[in-house]
């Protein structure tokens, strides 16, 4: 394989998706989201007390480009569970409200509330190998 056949950023994204049961590609970090959609998605995951890895797509525009090419999903945030794209903020929020997300994540049904609040526990951190 030549250098033209490999794409280190896409390979790093694919590897991160496979290595983490739950991973969120977002703008900013879970502690400092850089957009409302990313913040809302983090709040949903934290409300379910779901451990997750996160990758900030902002340091390098190529991360977002390669992520969208890999997932065929144009917007960020993007949540992956067990290697599969779940969706963005709207889908994650709808799944949370219906209880589907808790079921998918194996979270306790009682953890679901109408509106998620910021949880005290910090999410798992992932080294941003994509920049």
In the structure, what pLDDT confidence band is assigned to residue 5 with cuts at 50, 70 and 90?
Answer: low
Q: What is the DSSP letter of 109?
A: G
Closest CA to 24 of 131, 106, 123: 123
* Mean pLDDT (the chain, rounded): 84
The SS3 call for residue 87 is strand
Domain at 3-111, CATH class: alpha beta
Q: Is the pTM of this model over 0.85?
A: no
Q: For the chain, what are the domain ranges?
A: 3-111
Contacts of 19 (CB under 8 A, 6+ apart): none
Closest CA to 112 of 69, 49, 64, 65: 49
What average pLDDT does range 53-59 have in this prediction? 95
């Amino acid at each position: 394989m030549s250098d033209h056949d490999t794409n280190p950023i896409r390979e790093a994204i694919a590897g991160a998706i496979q290595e983490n049961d739950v991973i969120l590609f977002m703008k900013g970090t879970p502690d400092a989201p850089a957009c409302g959609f990313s913040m809302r998605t983090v709040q949903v995951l934290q409300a379910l007390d779901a451990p997750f890895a996160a990758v900030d797509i902002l340091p390098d525009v190529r991360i977002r480009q390669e992520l969208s090419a890999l997932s065929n999903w144009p917007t960020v945030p993007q949540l992956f569970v067990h290697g599969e794209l779940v969706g963005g903020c709207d889908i994650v929020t709808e799944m949370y409200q219906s209880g589907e997300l808790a079921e998918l994540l194996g979270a306790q049904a009682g953890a679901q509330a109408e509106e998620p609040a910021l949880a005290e526990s910090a999410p798992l951190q992932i080294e941003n190998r994509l920049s």
